[in-house]
Amino acid sequence: MPDWKPEIVKRLASLRLGATREAEIVEELAQHLDDRYADAIASGATEPEAYRSAIAELSDDELLASGLRRIERRVSPEPVVLGGAARGNALADAWRDALFCLRTLRKNRGYAAVALITLALGIGANTAIYSLVHAVLLRPLPYANADRLVFLAELMPEGRGRSGISYPNLMDWRERTTTLDDIAAFQSQSYTLTGAEVPIRLQGRRVNWNLFTLLGTTPQVGRLFVEEDDRPGAPMAAVISDSLWRSRFGADPAVVGMSVRLDGAPCTVVGVLPPTFEFVRRDEIYTTLVPVATETSGLLDRGNHFSIYAIGRLAPGVRVGQAEDELSAVAAQLAGEYPNTNSGNGAELKPLADVLVEDVRTALFVLLGAVGFVLLIACANVANLALAHATERRREIAVRLALGAARGRIVRQLLCESVLVSLLGGAAGLAVGTALVRGLVALAPPGIPRLDQAGLDGNVLLVTLAVSTVIGVLFGLYPAVQASRTDLNTAQKDAGRSTSGPAHERMRRVLLVAEIALALVLLAGAGLMLRTVVELANVDPGFDGNNVLTMRFNLPQNTYDPPRRRAFFSDCIEKIEATPGVESAAMTFSLPIDGSNWNSIFIVDDKPVPPRAELPSSAFSPISDDYFETLRIRLLKGRSFTPADADGSPYVTVVNEAFANRMWPGEDPIGKRLKQGWPEDKNPWREVVGLVSDVKLNGVDQMTPMQAYLPIRQEPMRSIALVVRTSGNPLASGPAIEAAIHSLDPDIAVFRMMTMDQLRGEALGQQRLTMALLGGFAGLALLLAGVGIYGVMSYTVTQRTHDIGIRMALGARPRDVLRLVVGQGALVAVVGVVIGLAAALALTRLMTGLLFGVGAADPPTYGVISIVLVVVALLACYLPARRATKVDPVVALRHD
Amino acid sequence: MTNQMLDRELKKGSAELLILSLVEAVPRHGYEISKLIESRSEGRLRFHVASLYPLLYRLEKRGWIEGRWVEKAGERRRRFYRLTSQGRKVLAAQRDTWREFVEAINLVTGMDNA
């Protein structure tokens, strides 16, 4: 049969029809001519005659075209299904493409669903962590000129780190620096607010009046501090937080000018801060600093370093480095002028933003990295899915190409599908992420700045959108381009078996190996954190914290002189020990693990006095007599305190092992003497009467510091921590103990009541959260990798049903088939694990700061996770492999 | 010359009627239709591709006939046309018109055509 197409097409050329329509017409007319030709042959014509009679039907060139022109011109635009020439406006095309994509996705529900869920999980986790990182680290501080604000502190000699600024030093800094045009100091302070109902304890700060002007804060009600408030002898003024205003004063504007009692002293509330105000932490009340800098407070002693820190603002045009240099120079000057107190002291000047997050920065970045890995694994899975999906549609694509679809259009449509899936996955991920963020904020330990403001914001949305689109383009591009290179012949031939080319196969393997490697790295991180938390939990704190209740309270300043304090101590302990359920009670200044210590330099009598910069420093803790017994701290030598160690009796002390080993190594510490403070201070010499075992003071992961205990009667302090050993649940006895205290003085506010275990758990809070998150991500990664392996193996088995059928028909046993499939998977797994191990070893080094008790290259951890991963991979291979063995060779061979 | 012109004009006017009537009973494809016209008119009327198909497409566009691709076993697919319900109405109307026209001509020219 001759080919009529060229002749027909020639006559249709002037119409410039769309490819579809033209193809249709051509087909119909060609049919007609074929029939005419066949008829002619059947009635005896020769071929040339028959050809001529058929061609005659087409007559001259213009007749057909002119006949069709009026009709075809008004034909509606070609249907979307087949590819077409680029006609019509791009927007309409894009819209049609999008609708077509949706329809295609709905048809391939399985593929779309798996891809969507995988992406939702990966993107969701990323959105959550990114929200956190953004809220805590990346967002600019909410103060005026935040990038010009710096944090100031002093540096102790001998590299012992940061310390508070001594008040006289601060004054000199203020006077002598030109690079900072304003400095405001702040000091942590807690107050007891009395008046109505129960006395409450408030967390607050004493600040210079200009702190708020430096931060650019404006009051919600009333006013903030002015210079008059911050002068010696000024009447006490307070600025309160919005939450305190609402909870305690009923948001009444008349609070301005109201008089309250703080620690027993009268104080006027002058203003309320805006609800969003937060400086380092959310404090409830602020008072001024200068009025308390009196002789008796000890603030005017240059050698005393209370926890006073400061912020400063860089003068215009000054860089941080310049200011840092100048301040160090000033500190050096002062060290020269006041060698007794300042020798060896330096100054610390850092951007405020950096200082606020220094504790959490590493952890947050580790988490960000981890969650990025999860996303990569998710993308690899989706890419594999897309590859498989595109391969299945080769035939459809080849047909479209043959019917004249533009290659670019096909690529565009495939890309549209993958972008659509990613955008939908991104939207779902956004929802997942938001929920995750809320959960994390609720579970997070306190002390992470600005965490409570983490949430969905424009930034996060934008990043998620960008990530989704990029993913869609990336994982859609390769399969799309590959698929569009198909030609009909190959596709038709492979139609039954539709195996993919070796290029596809290799790409899939590469993706799998990458997934496994990434999963291993995550598992390494999670495993190390798990070991860390376990190690931390197992650290022997040096005491027995079971069934121990702790709480704190402060004796009001003005009403308790030392004799009254001593009386209170003994009455209080007596009353508490009489409470049912209480076995023993004791008082101390600093609780173990808590880290709230009173540190002081000291000298000992049997060693030469070292230079001032090298004077040793120890934690000094006044305790009641039964302290060691209550906490079951072991007494190694000598004795503990007795009622004989009273005011007026010889001054005594008990030291811990760290102290004895440092000061008197190899010697018996009993009988030695020490004295707090500078060598020339008129403090009493204390004789060491006992040696106790070490107690972890600053958290279980820190080294035990030197510690010297003093009898509370010889050093009666106001701030008291109570430890009570109970026979049953400690918290059950809480109310009774509090009542006992109030029966002695109703104006005492008891706070931070918690069991020792809770205190310990609190200290571990951040590590536990990091571990939980990393563990969660590693688990997710493992799941995704397993699913990915299963998917690819399953697909491979399906594609190779024909092969397997042949093999089994030729006598292969199920075992051999199993070995074949699982063997392939095992190879991929092992390669992935090896690469993953190398990567993990390199990367976990970055998280050393977070680890405790385990090295970043800990062999048991790596060994375990490698085994776990290989087992999971093998399992994921085994299931489809089993399916392969069930193949009926007859069915397989017929499967064409 | 005059005859050809007349032929063309006559054909044009009646072509639609021809095609509609041919697909009234049973769906037919293009070649079938042209063969039927040729055979039933004993060769007097002939429709070539260039004139038949534009006509078919025009009728299809108006909705009077409906074309569908049909694939029979072992054959290539063909486009079959059938009369739609609207087409049925049009066919009836055109038949009436044609009959009236012929009667009118006969009355005027005094010809007698049954």
Q: Do the chains contact at A31 and B61, CB–CB below 8 Å?
A: no
For residue B92, the Cα-to-chain-centroid distance in whole angstroms is 13
Beta-carbon-side half-sphere exposure of residue A147 (alpha carbons within 13 Å)? 7
Give pLDDT, residue A502.
66
How far the first Cα of chain B sits from its last, in Å, is 28
Backbone angles phi, psi at A84, to 5 degrees: -150, 170
Task: Find out whether A709 and A621 touch, Cβ atoms under 8 Å.
Answer: yes
Shortest Cα distance, chain A CAs vs residue B66, angstroms: 15
Which residues fall within 8 angstroms of residue A301, CB to CB, at 6 or more apart? A166, A168
DSSP states of A365-420: HHHHHHHHHHHHHHHHHHHHHHHHHHHHTHHHHHHHHHTT--HHHHHHHHHHHHHH
The type of residue at A613 is A
Mean pLDDT of B7-33: 84
Q: Concatenated DSSP letters for A176-234?
A: H-SSEEEEEEEEEEEEEEESSSS-EEEEEEEE-TTHHHHHT---SEE----GGGGSTTP
Name the residue in chain A with its Cα closest to that of B57.
A71
The answer to whether A28 contacts B58, with C-beta atoms less than 8 Å apart, is: no
Do the Cβ atoms of B79 and A28 come within 8 Å?
A: yes
Give B51's contacts in chain A (Cβ within 8 Å): 63, 67
Token pair 């399969």 in the structure block, residue? A479
- Mutation target to probe the B interface, by most B beta carbons within 10 A, among A5, A26, A32 is A32
Q: Which residues of chain A does B35 touch, with a Cβ-Cβ cutoff of 8 Å? A: 39
Inspect the interface and report whether the beta carbons of B79 and A31 lie closer than 8 Å.
yes
Q: Which residues have CB under 8 Å from B104's CB, separation 6+?
A: none
**Predicted pLDDT at A85:** 47
Residue A54 has pLDDT above 90, yes or no: no
Place of tokens 């899939």: A508
Say how far apart CA A740 and CA A728 lie, in whole Å: 18
Interface test with B, best of A57, A66, A73 (most B CBs within 10 A): A57
Say yes or no for a CB contact (<8 Å) between B61 and A74.
yes
> CA angle B25-B26-B28, nearest 5°?
130
At residue A773, the pLDDT reads: 85
Quick check: helix, strand or coil at residue A695? coil
Residues contacting residue A803 through CB under 8 Å, at least 6 positions apart: none
- Asked if A72 and B57 come within 8 Å (Cβ–Cβ), the reply is yes
Predicted local distance difference test score (pLDDT) of residue A630: 92
Subunit contact A68:B53, Cβ cutoff 8 A: yes
Tens-digit pLDDT profile for residues A465-500: 787 788 778 877 777 777 666 655 555 555 444 445
Q: How many CB atoms lie within 10 A of CB A359?
A: 12
- Point out the residue among B49, B55, B57 whose CB comes nearest to the CB of A32: B49
- Identify the closest residue of chain A to B59 by CA–CA distance: A71
Q: Choose the mutation target among A71, A73, A81 for the interface with B, i.e. most B CBs under 10 Å.
A: A71
pLDDT of A468 reads: 77
The vertex-A310 CA angle with A307 and A311, nearest 5°, equals 150
Spatial distance between the Cα atoms of A520 and A514, rounded to a whole number of angstroms: 10
The distance between the two most distant Cα atoms of chain A, rounded to a whole number of Å, is 143
In contact, A288 and A234? CB cutoff 8 Å: yes
SS in 3 state form for A474-492? HHHHHHHHHHHCCCHHHHH
How distant is the Cα of B70 from the closest Cα of chain A, in angstroms? 12
Question: A24: exposed, middle or buried (C-beta count within 10 Å: 0-12, 13-18, 19+)?
Answer: middle
Whether A620 and A347 have beta carbons less than 8 Å apart is answered as no
Q: Which of A596, A603, A669, A675 is nearest to A639 (CA)?
A: A669
E-state strands within A35-130? none
Condensed to tens digits (0 to 9), the pLDDT of residues A512-521 reads 888 889 889 9
Q: Helices then strands (H, E): number in chain B?
A: 4, 3
User: Is residue B70 within a helix (H) or strand (E), and if so which, with residue range?
Assistant: strand B65-70
Q: How many CA atoms lie within 13 A of A854 on its CB side?
A: 25
Q: What band does A415 get if pLDDT is binned at 50, 70 and 90?
A: confident
Nearest of A116, A142, A135 to residue A434 by alpha carbon: A135
- Inter-chain contact A57–B48, Cβ cutoff 8 Å? yes
What DSSP line would sit under A676-724, residue for residue?
Answer: ES-TTS-PPEEEEEEEE-----S-TTSPPPPEEEEETTTS--SEEEEEE
Residue A3 dihedral angles phi and psi, to the nearest 5°? -95, 115
Phi, psi for A221 (deg, rounded to 5) = -135, 145
CA distance A97 to A478: 19
Phi, psi of A832 (to 5 degrees): -60, -45
- Chain A residue set in contact with B, beta carbons under 8 Å: 25, 27-29, 31-33, 35-36, 39, 56-60, 63-64, 67-68, 71-72, 74-75
Which residue in B34, B50, B78 is closest to A59 by CB distance? B50
Least confident span in A163-167, A349-353, A798-802: A798-802
Q: Which of A582, A583, A555 is nearest to A569 (CA)?
A: A555
Interface subset of B 53-92, CB within 8 angstroms of A = 53-55, 57-58, 61, 76-79
Percent of chain A with pLDDT over 90: 27
Which residues in chain B have Cβ-Cβ distances shorter than 8 Å to A75? 61
Alpha-carbon distances, residue A736 vs A548, A575, A602, A623, A888 (angstroms): 15, 10, 40, 22, 77
Give, as one character, the DSSP assignment of residue A136. Answer: I
Residue A209 pLDDT > 90: yes
Give the residue-averaged pLDDT of A771-789.
Answer: 85
Q: Which residues of B touch A10 (CB under 8 A)?
A: none
CB A488 within 8 A of CB A398: yes
pLDDT at residue A412, as a whole number: 79
> Would the pLDDT of A79 be above 70?
no
State how far residue A833 is from chain B, nearest Cα, in angstroms.
Answer: 56
Q: Residue A560 in 3-state DSSP?
A: coil
List, in order, residues 6 or more apart from B31 with CB less than 8 Å away.
A31, A32, A35, A36
| Residue type at position A198 | V
Report the DSSP beta bridge partners of residue A286: A205, A239
The mean of the pLDDT values for chain A is 84
**pLDDT reported for residue A97:** 76
Contact A632, A585 (CB under 8 A): no
Predicted TM-score (pTM) of the model is 0.66
Q: Min CA distance, B85 vs chain A (Å)? A: 22
Amino acid at A665: P
Confidence check: pLDDT of A29 > 50: yes
The reply to whether residue B49 touches residue A72, judged by beta carbons under 8 angstroms, is no
In this predicted structure, what is the pLDDT of residue A151? Answer: 94
CB contact under 8 A, A35 and B54: no
Q: Does B31 touch chain A (CB under 8 A)?
A: yes
How many angstroms separate the CA atoms of A643 and A628, rounded? Answer: 15
Asked whether the beta carbons of residue B31 and residue A58 sit closer than 8 angstroms, the reply is no
How close, in Å, is residue A67 to chain B by CA atoms? 5
| A-chain residue closest to B76, CA distance | A31
| pLDDT above 50 for A180 | yes
pLDDT digits (tens, 9 = 90+) for A619-632: 899 999 999 999 99
What is the rounded CA–CA span in Å between residue A686 and residue A683? 9
d(CA A292, CA A630): 37
Residue A498, helix vs strand vs coil: coil
DSSP character at residue A281: B
Query: Residue A866 pLDDT more than 80?
Result: yes
Inter-residue contact A185 to A292 (CB < 8 Å): no
- Closest CB to A29: pick one of B53, B61, B76: B53
Q: How far is A58 from chain B (nearest CA, A)?
A: 5
Binary contact (A31, B76; C-beta < 8 A): yes
CB nearest B50 (choices: A36, A58, A72): A58
Query: What is the residue-wise DSSP string for A866-891?
Result: HHHHHHHHHHHHHHHHHHHHT--HHH
According to DSSP, the residues that pair with A359 across neighbouring strands are none
For tokens 């808590």, the residue is A594
> What DSSP assignment string belongs to A421-465?
HHHHHHHHHHHHHHHHHHHHHHHSPTT-TTGGG-S--HHHHHHHH
Lowest mean pLDDT among A143-147, A334-338, A698-702, A819-823: A698-702
Answer yes or no: do A29 and B51 touch at CB < 8 A: no
d(CA A567, CA A839) in angstroms, rounded, equals: 64
Closest residue to A63, CB basis, from B30, B51, B76: B51
Residues of A in contact with B11 (CB under 8 A): none
Q: What is the ipTM of this complex?
A: 0.88
Helix (H, G, I), strand (E, B) or coil at A683: coil
Listed residue (A517, A530, A531, A428) closest to A773, CA to CA? A530
pLDDT score of A419 more than 90: no
Rounded Cα distance between A130 and A460, Å, is 7
DSSP label at B1? -
pLDDT band at A101 (very low <50, low <70, confident <90, very high): confident
> Among A150-154, A190-194, A222-226, which stretch is predicted with the lowest mean pLDDT?
A190-194
The reported pLDDT for the residue numbered A495 is 45
Pick from A644, A651, A643, A621: nearest CA to A633: A621
Could you tell me what percent of chain A has a pLDDT over 70?
A: 94
Q: Which two tokens stand for residue A686?
A: 């204390």
**Helices (H) then strands (E): counts for chain A:** 28, 22
Measured CA to CA, the distance from residue A318 to residue A712 in angstroms comes to: 50
The confidence score (pLDDT) of residue A583 equals 92
Chain A residue with minimal CA distance to B58?
Answer: A71
Kindly report the CA angle at A502 between A500 and A504, in degrees rounded to 5? 60
In whole angstroms, give the CA distance from residue A850 to residue A811.
57
